[in-house]
Structure 1
Amino acid sequence: MLDNNQLLRFTTAGSVDDGKSTLIGRLLYDSKSIFEDQLQSIENTSKKKGHEGVDLALFTDGLRDEREQGITIDVAYRYFTTPKRKFIIADTPGHIQYTRNMVTGASTANVATILIDARHGVIEQTKRHAFIASLLQIPHVIVCINKMDLVDFSEDVYNEIVSQFEEISSKMLVKDVRFIPMSALLGDNVVHKSENMPWFQGAPMLHTLETMHISSDTNKVDARFPVQTVLRPQREGYIDYRGYAGRMASGVLRKGDEITVMPSGFTSKIRTIGTYDGEIEEAFAPMSVSITLEDDIDISRGDMIVRSNNKPEALQDIEVMLCWLNNRAAQPRTKYTIKHTSNEQKAMIKEVVYKIDINSLDRNKEDKDLQMNDISKVKIRTTKPLMVDSYRENRTTGSIILVDDTSNETVAAGMVV
């Protein structure tokens, strides 16, 4: 039964010491999602540190050097399951210099949870994280107003912070915003409803996550099938078999559909759709399948099979919103490897159109240097066409990464405008 549960990915973001790790620890602890040996290890570590009870933050601060410094310095992933849903949590750092880590953690998220310290209200980092959630088109945002116990569970404080956040979110493309007052340390409104805040009529965080409707977030209209490999098994019964294996990026493909292979433009019809368990009538995202066609067409890794009446753009000049992830600044006219679905090409940044000041949301057209954590709109030129949709319409075919050829490091992540 659990294997059929719908998977929800969510990321946590907030300023330093807003209680992100404690919130996730409380979520795992109160939902009984901790193995006994893990719990014993955390209890022992908590005692060594002199804590009276269990230090909930240690459930996500898994690296020893993080614990020694007392901070979370990387994206920590946690997995847990309830009877209603499976979850993947990405706990991202709160420091300004680790903005790139939030981009990494939030890139595949269905929900962004943004923590706000009730004592401090909306601050610069809150605006930064709300903007990134908007930029990455995360469809749902839960604003967790934490540490309500330190402001005497005041409804007035809660209402003031809600008003502050609504003022900034109205300028961004954040569709579904929900607010929950809580105390992660004490457990109020995390898994169980708080008795200290009877004025709050909403559901606690876990119930909100379990019941949130996310199936409509996927693109079911644009059929996109990036080819990962060509299958030519040389054994009895398969001598003439030529299948194209990959993972459905979006939409639905059915047997008999008229398709076009891009970028070549060759057309054919789908003969069969195969899986490990046998043939099926239709494939939809995110299924991994093998497709055979009625015609023998030259297709290789990086090509894309789409419906003939619904094609993406094949572009060599692409405008993207780029987040620079590398310690070294971008070098003008440097060649990078661009990765888009299963396609890899050489590319270069032709022009930096503008950089965004995340604190004020102003566009700076004068500063053209891309430093770590900078978010900017750029024009990229590739050696061969990429089959792209806008990121707003399709998060899979609208995203790219740039890799430095000399160091093999991922230097930037981008969203097609």
Structure 2
Amino acid sequence: MNDKTAWSNFWLGLGGAVAAVVGVGIVSTFEWPDTESVQVGHRGNGMVQVYNQVALANQVAETSFPEPEPVDEPFGLSAGEIYENVQVLGHLDVADFNRLMLAITSWVAPEEQGCLYCHAEGEALSSDSLYTKRVARRMIQMTMTVNQEWDQHVAPTGVTCYTCHRGQPVPDNIWFLDPGQWRGAGIVGNPAGQNMPATAAGLSSLPADPFVAFLQDDPANIRVAGLEALPDGNRTSIKQTEWTYSLMMHMSTSLGVNCTFCHNSRSFSDWEQSPAQRTTAWHGLRMVSSLNETYLDPLQGEYPAIRLGPTGDAPKANCATCHQGAYKPLYGYSMIGDYPSLAAYGPPELQDPPMPMPAADGTGGEASPATSQ
């Protein structure tokens, strides 16, 4: 065998080995199309939801529902009369209070710590020395607010601490401000937050961070379709449109649905032709923005540095925080009926820090959408 033949065989062998490795990699990551299509609207409009049966079955199997704590007979005295420094739940009968504390411990605290996750060992239960207790107090108020003021989004299922935490001290899906390490202009210019594959944008080339624009205080306008013809109508740029599409990708992956879950493909922008879920989502986006502004962002000073983001901000919520891939959190399983004390505020004079009171119409101060997004 001459040198030329030897080199040829070497490169053929190397090429074959590389092809085999690549082939195995592709096959091992391939998602087999075991799908089911469900018609959700008029035929011909593309109003179909497509589900991967294997992925859906796995996710359902991984979704657990904790057994409710046993209900005890009322004690006849309130928690505020028995315990010191009960700032939010002091109006509850002490039996209901203790039952809720046990439930919250199983929903949130690590098993090896239990009550000591919020109550410092060797100190009185009334002590606020641990940041976890101070944060938990505010989170209980936030849960009450969701159930009391945002029933257009969560009713009739409601939420509890378990909806987001699922037995963990920190929910799986939280977000922080983007540190912006990719935003500097270089040889290819400013990427404007794009071409950085992120789960939030469905691993697409859309902007990787749709949350700052839409899920914080003073959210930007999501609508990109104009209501009037040019030149007097829509002035939305392509860049703004891409940020909206990134948010839509986040919502789609967070709920495990495609676009026609909330939109009629005949006219994506027309509210009158849209499914009812679009209105529910409209309230949900405003709910998350309000919760981030009112409850989550202000907790920055309570957290230790290890719990803060790269820019020093507090953890915040998005759609995936509650939904975690399901069109309804916990696939619609309701726990609030077992814990009605989380469904409504206690007496306002017992709330410290004070809680915002619901609007007179019970909508949380916002009217339902008409023609705007």
Bucket of the pairwise TM-score, normalised by the shorter protein: under 0.3
Comparing both structures, which one devotes a greater share of its residues to strand? 1
Comparing both structures, which one devotes a greater share of its residues to helix? 2
Larger of the two Rg values belongs to structure: 2
TM-score (norm 2): 0.24
